[in-house]
Structure 1
Amino acid sequence: MNSLRAFEAAARHSSFAKAASELNVSHSVVSQHVKKLELWFGTELFMRLGNRVELSGDGRALLPQVASGLQTLRDGCNSLLRKTQSGTLVVSAEPALASLWLRKRATEFCKLFPRIEIDLRPAWTPDRLGDENADMLIHFETRMPSSGVERQGLFPIDGYPACTPKFRDKLLSDDLRIDWDSVPLVHDNGREIWHKWYAAYQPESSGWQQGRVYSDLSLAIDAAVDGEGIVLADDILCQREIESGALVRLDPQAVRCVWYQIALPKGGLKAPVSETLKQWLLDQALPHRNN
């Protein structure tokens, strides 16, 4: 079963490395699982092309059946889990993620699993795991505990300059160019991310030192929507503002801001329902990890 899961993930990503990241194992483990399948079937399932892999003819024939079978198993297990699993999960999450992405999905999860309750606790510093503390952490990878936990990537945040349409029209000069030395910026939790963007795309400018700093991304987004300046927005946490047109992309160039991770206690200390929530959230975040 593990070999089939590894094959399906590698086929979907066209990459052993991305499959390994999704399954939370090493690249070599995925490669070994695929080799076992190839020996068992007596045929190559992938063509190795440097760092990339492509399905062979036999691999393409096998994939739909394996994907369908795995989905049937997941659906069957989830159907039973919805009836049997119960309890309260304490989830400690970074405040902006908790407000802008996780809250809505926690509500959806509880509708699917009505016997499970989620106690969502926003926190700038991740809570301790286990005992009477949090059952799950969802936070910046840089703030996660370094030991005693099992961590898995949720999704990355790639920020690009965005502002209101009215503010954009005021900024653009006659030649449709922006003066990045003097534009008013909106920062969240320090100036580091704007500094990273300027270092990548405007290295000669010190414009990143300007603008007001807010303690939380939610406040920074609200400030940008109110016309205070340009914020580094993204397509996940700022989805509502971008899709509604309240904020528009001012520049196509983006910078990696952060990775969010999920962490559970290592070993047998985790609550059984934690694994169910973790896998459900990873499935919800899968399109963002594949972009």
Structure 2
Amino acid sequence: MTTTDSLATHVTVTAGSFMTDVVEASAHVPVLVDFWAPWCGPCKQLMPILDRLAAEYGGRFKLAKVNTDEQQQLAQQLGIRSLPTVVLFKDRTTVDHFVGILPEAQIRELLDKHLPTVSDGPLAQVQRLKAAGDYAGAQEAIGHLLARDPENVGLRTEAAELHVLDGDVDAAKQILTQLQAKEPNHSLVKRLAALITFSDVIARHPDVRSLREQLAANPADLELQHAMAVHQLLAGDVEPPLQTWLEMMRSHRQFQDDLARRSLILAFELIGDADPIVPQTRRAMARLLF
């Protein structure tokens, strides 16, 4: 029997459902199968990356997971010898695979080589409207998708992010509260929580030009430093804010209940572990902590 995790971006597959949920399903949409085990550390590192990609690709592929401890016979039949092993099925056959952990960029390359173009994905219209700044139109489009798949965590977090972009942070917080009640440890839910926390900072300091002027007049003001770091992070300039918060940890650890350390942890959720700057900054944090 197939089990779909509540609010998850994947389907859990057993020996009994493999032919239906993987082989036959791949005739309609590519299926990426993650063979893992609870004791496998690299498997746990890879999982949130695959979950995030499944949500981001918006239906262009289906993510399936096989717990090899529970499905040992299936793993043996398929020749799975190392974990994690990830296999891509398309048109009822295997077309690609990798063993171990790959950088996220390489996983994207593998997927993009075999998947339908982005213009074919159900989230394509949402992304186009979002890029054009038509947040109301994007919300309407994603509403139609949610009507067909109301428990999809990727769609729900995307809807919440659109609320943030449209200035309705309260609506985003309502969605976040619902998601946290069901699956607080999901990587996309954690990412949304980080975005909303930082959006509250932006709401207190919305004018970046004025913020720069205030910082020029008061360069030692830690609250202004923090606000500027948040603006930089959300604008995609990730290295300066990480360095700001590391320096705040060194010199003002007690400021606002260890705000710098907490901000770094939230930033990691937004950036993602696949970016090499995250493990590099984690090591710098560890040296300051210990």
Higher relative contact order (CA 8 A, sep 6+): 1
Same fold, TM-score > 0.5, yes or no: no
> Normalized per residue, which structure has more helix?
2
TM-score (norm 1): 0.30
> Normalized per residue, which structure has more strand?
1
TM-score (norm 2): 0.31
